[in-house]
Amino acid sequence: MKEEFYNDVALLDGLSEGDHRASKVIYTVYYPIISKWIFSKGGDAESAQDVFQDGLIVLYQKSKDPEFCLTCKIGTYLFAVCKRLWFKKFQQKHYQYELPVDFSDEEQPVSGNLRDEQQDVAYFLENEHNYEVLQRAMKELGEPCGQILKAFYIEKKSMQDIAAVHQYANMETAKVQKYKCLGRLKKIYFKLKQ
């Protein structure tokens, strides 16, 4: 773990390593700016928090991608992503009627990799939609499968711990069980998605 974040690169490294202090620095520095922009668009504190959280998830996912290299500042990227998320996701909820949104002005070239942001946000929204389906599928899946999958994939617990908690004879048995559960989850997921 790093002691200090000298610059954007160190901050991004910290974020990808899951260092909470990196997320805290990003939150402290950029949340006031982004929330202010969202308030100016008629959003409230809750939607500002939501947009920022989603934006940070996008940045986090990108930071883990070994091929990702930020060609602009973190702030620029994050702000562009949050703007896009706001327009795509939240604006319609808050307005009964749609104001003509001048995208050419709002999405002016804050950076050179605008197309990346567009793709990143589109990918995020798709995953988020799938995630909602997944949650319903998990519910239908029941126990102990739900718990095993949640512990392994979401809480990132080790197979050893999971084997111990669910009293499997050894790790191998737990592993076989986990893949069976994943197979079942997959079936339910695609049944729900249809």
Partner 1 sequence: MYFKNRIMLHRYNIEEWAEKYYNRQLTQEEKAEIDTLLEADVVLRKEWDEAMEVLAALAHASDAEHIRQALRSARQPEKAPGRLIAFIRNNWKTSAIAASFALAAISTVQYMNSSKEMGNSKSKFTQLSREVENIKNSQNSIIKTIEDKTLTPKAPEPQYDLGGTGFALTNDGYIATNYHVVTGTSDISIITQDNHTYNAVMVGYDAVLDLAILKITDKDFKFGKSPVPYNLKYQPSQVLGLKVFSVGYPQDNLVYNEGYISCERGYQGDSLSYQLEIVANPGQSGSPVIDKQGNVLGLINGKKSNTSGTTYAVRSKALLDLIGRLPDHIRITPPRSNAIARLERTEQVSQLKNYIVTIKTVK
Binding stretches for partner 1 (CB under 8 A)? 3-9, 18, 20-21, 23-25, 27-30, 32-33, 36-37, 49, 52-53, 56-57, 60-61, 71-73, 75-76, 79, 104, 108-115, 127-128, 130-131, 133-135, 149, 153-156, 179, 182-183, 185-186, 189-190
Q: Which is nearer to partner 1, 83 or 91 (CB)?
A: 83
Q: Which is nearer to partner 1, 20 or 94 (CB)?
A: 20
Q: Which is nearer to partner 1, 72 or 98 (CB)?
A: 72
Selection from 120, 128, 115, 174 nearest residue 147 by Cα: 174
Q: Which is nearer to partner 1, 96 or 137 (CB)?
A: 137
Selection from 90, 84, 85, 100 nearest residue 44 by Cα: 90
Query: Minimum distance between the CB of residue 99 and partner 1, rounded to whole angstroms?
Result: 20
Q: For Cα atoms 5, 9, 12, give the angle at the middle one, nearest 5 degrees.
A: 80
Selection from 188, 158, 194 nearest residue 178 by Cα: 158
Straight-line distance from the first to the last Cα atom of the chain, in angstroms, rounded to the nearest whole number? 44
